[in-house]
C-alpha cells in the first residue's frame, strides 16, 4: 500500500511535468541539441549507478560553456528531474516491492521534507563548510566499506529492511541528506554506503534513494522551466536523452552481482568525496577572496 502511495504521485508528477515541458518547448520551437541529448544519456546512465548526474553535468557545462554559470543549477534541475523520476519508478517497480515498506516510504518522505526545510538555509550557511564535512564523512564511510569488503569489518548483507532502531536512524539521516541536497550534496553516495553498512542488500538501496531524490526535485523543476533565460533546447535534450538511458541502466543494476555492486559503491563514495572536497576548497578560496575585497569596497 505504501509502495502504491509513492508510485502514484511519482507517475502523475512525471506525466504533468513532461506535458508542461513539451508545451513550453513547442511554443518556443526549442528542438533538443545533439550535444544535450548525448549528455543526458551519459550522465543519467551513470547516475543510475549512484554517480551524481549533477556533478557530471556541471563539469561538462562549465568545460563547454553551454550556459552561463548562474543558469547551470536551474538547467540541470529542469532537465534531469524527469529521468530521475523515471529512474525511481523503475527501481520501485523492480525492487521496491522487496523493501520493507515503512523504511522505503519513511526515508523517501524524509528526504523530500529535508529538501523543503533546507532551501531557506542556503542563503545563511556557508556551503563550503557543509561540503567539506560531507567529504570527510564519506571518506570515513568509504574506508569502512573497504574494510568490510576485505573482511576486517562486518558489512553488507541481504536484508530488505532494518530493525526499528536502525530504521529510525535511516529515516533521520535521509532527512539530513535531503537538507544537504540544497548545498549541492547528492543523496546517492551517502545513502548507498549508509544502508549497506547497516546490513542491507545494496540492490535495495536504489529504490530508497531514487524515490527520495525525485520527490525532492519534482516541485522546483516545474518552476524552473518558466525561467525566460533558460535554454529549453538543452533542457529537452537532457530529458529525452536521459529517460531511455536510466531504463537500460536500471536493468543492469537489478541483475548485477552483489559483490560487484559493493565495489562500485566504494568507487562512487570516494569519487563523491573528492568532488565534494574540491568544491569545498574552491568555495573556501572564493569566500576568503570576498573577505579580502570587502574592506576595499567599503573604503
What is the pTM (predicted TM-score) of this model?
0.74
- For residue 31, pLDDT beyond 80: yes
User: Which residues have C-beta within 8 Å of that of residue 36, sequence separation ≥ 6?
Assistant: 66, 79, 233, 234, 235, 236, 237, 238, 241
- CB half-sphere exposure, 243, CA atoms < 13 A: 14
Find where cell 549533477 sits: 54
Give the Å distances, CA to CA, from 295 to 30, 239, 290: 46, 45, 9
Q: Confirm if 95 and 206 have CB atoms less than 8 A apart.
A: yes
Q: What is the pLDDT of residue 26?
A: 94
State how far the Cα of 197 lies from the Cα of 291, in Å rounded to an integer. 41
Q: Confirm if 145 and 137 have CB atoms less than 8 A apart.
A: no
- For residue 260, pLDDT beyond 60: yes
> Which residues is 159 bridged to in the sheet?
200
Q: Confirm if 264 and 105 have CB atoms less than 8 A apart.
A: no
Q: What mean pLDDT, rounded, does the chain reach?
A: 83
User: Which residues have C-beta within 8 Å of that of residue 257, sequence separation ≥ 6?
Assistant: none
Lowest mean pLDDT among 66-70, 233-237, 241-245: 66-70
- For residue 255, pLDDT beyond 90: no
Query: What are the tens digits of pLDDT across the range 147-160?
Result: 777 776 555 678 88
Q: What is the pLDDT of residue 296?
A: 47
State how far the Cα of 38 lies from the Cα of 89, in Å rounded to an integer. 22
Q: What is the pLDDT of residue 277?
A: 87
Rounded to 5°, the CA angle 253-201-86 comes to 40
Query: What are the tens digits of pLDDT across the range 202-226?
Result: 888 889 988 888 887 776 677 778 8
State how far the Cα of 259 lies from the Cα of 241, in Å rounded to an integer. 30
State how far the Cα of 159 lies from the Cα of 76, in Å rounded to an integer. 34
Amino acid at each position: 500500500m505504501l509502495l502504491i502511495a509513492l508510485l502514484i504521485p511519482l507517475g502523475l508528477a512525471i506525466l504533468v511535468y513532461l506535458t508542461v515541458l513539451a508545451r513550453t518547448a513547442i511554443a518556443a520551437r526549442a528542438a533538443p541539441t545533439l550535444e544535450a541529448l548525448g549528455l543526458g544519456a551519459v550522465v543519467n546512465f551513470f547516475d543510475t549507478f549512484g554517480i551524481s548526474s549533477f556533478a557530471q553535468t556541471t563539469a561538462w557545462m562549465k568545460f563547454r560553456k553551454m550556459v552561463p554559470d548562474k543558469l547551470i543549477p536551474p538547467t540541470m534541475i529542469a532537465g534531469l528531474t524527469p529521468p530521475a523520476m523515471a529512474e525511481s519508478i523503475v527501481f520501485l517497480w523492480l525492487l521496491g516491492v522487496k523493501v520493507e515498506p515503512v523504511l522505503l516510504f519513511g526515508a523517501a518522505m524524509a528526504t523530500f521534507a529535508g529538501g523543503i526545510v533546507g532551501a531557506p538555509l542556503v542563503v545563511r550557511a556557508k556551503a563550503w563548510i557543509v561540503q567539506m564535512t560531507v567529504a570527510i564523512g564519506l571518506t570515513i564511510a568509504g574506508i569502512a566499506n573497504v574494510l568490510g569488503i576485505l573482511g576486517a569489518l562486518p558489512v553488507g548483507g541481504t536484508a530488505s529492511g532494518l530493525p526499528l532502531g536502525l530504521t529510525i536512524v535511516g529515516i533521520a539521516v535521509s532527512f539530513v541528506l535531503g537538507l544537504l541536497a540544497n548545498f549541492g550534496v547528492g543523496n546517492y553516495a551517502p545513502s548507498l554506503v549508509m544502508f549497506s553498512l547497516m546490513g542491507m542488500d545494496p540492490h535495495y538501496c536504489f529504490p530508497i534513494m531514487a524515490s527520495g531524490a525525485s520527490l525532492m526535485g519534482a516541485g522546483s523543476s516545474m518552476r524552473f522551466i518558466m525561467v525566460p533565460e533558460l535554454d529549453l533546447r538543452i533542457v529537452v535534450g537532457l530529458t529525452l536523452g536521459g529517460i531511455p538511458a536510466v531504463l537500460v541502466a536500471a536493468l543492469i543494476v537489478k541483475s548485477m552481482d552483489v559483490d560487484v555492486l559493493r565495489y562500485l559503491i566504494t568507487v562512487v563514495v570516494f569519487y563523491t568525496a573528492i568532488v565534494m572536497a574540491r568544491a569545498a576548497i574552491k568555495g573556501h578560496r572564493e569566500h576568503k577572496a570576498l573577505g579580502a575585497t570587502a574592506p576595499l569596497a567599503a573604503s
